[in-house]
Amino acid sequence: STQLLSGLKELLWQVYELEESVRHGVAGPEQQAMLEQRIQALSSGMRDVADRTGMLEDLSVPVNLLRHLDEGGWPDHYTSESFKASVADNQASKGKVAAVLTFRNELLEQLAAQLPEETAQYRRICEGEAAAVKVERQEGDTAAVTTERQDGGAAR
């Protein structure tokens, strides 16, 4: 991508030189030859840049960023605003999770009052599944530590 960037900079410089040549007019054969040479250099530079764009095939740019730039905005401003929006969305999600947990706890309380045996059985099942997940995590951590010790600290 640095090759592409340097190619684009060179292309912009060639456009500037061509504009200056045209602005000052073409009076004689020397200026005509220089103008033709600059046009050929610009054409060659455009082909080089077009050939280098294959490096950008996997590049993905958000459409909203492109709109922001088209409207004259700065990329840093877009990044900052996107970050702020994601923080706000994250806070909203946390609030929704808290509401669901509060609803779950309230529901379990009311179920325990109405159906104590079934609620106790449900809680035992949940505790058993949570314990199984915890054991799996601990076994995974132990295996990672064992591998790390055998490899001299290279694994993980």
Is residue 13 scored above 50 in pLDDT?
yes
Mean pLDDT score across all residues of the chain:
84
In a domain, 93, yes or no: yes
Predicted local confidence at residue 115, as pLDDT: 93
**For residue 63, pLDDT beyond 50:** yes
- Please indicate, yes or no, if residue 110 is contained in any of the structural domains: yes
Residue 81 to residue 78: CA distance in whole angstroms: 5
Which pLDDT value is given to residue 98? 96
Domain count, the chain: 2
pTM of the model: 0.45
Give yes or no: residues 55 and 74 share one domain: no
Contact 108, 119 (CB under 8 A): yes
Q: Provide the residue range defining the domain that includes 130.
A: 70-144
The pLDDT assigned to 90 comes to 96
* 2 and 51 belong to one structural domain: yes
Which CA distances in Å does 56 have to 2, 10, 12, 65, 96? Answer: 11, 19, 19, 17, 40
Per-residue model confidence (pLDDT) at position 27: 67
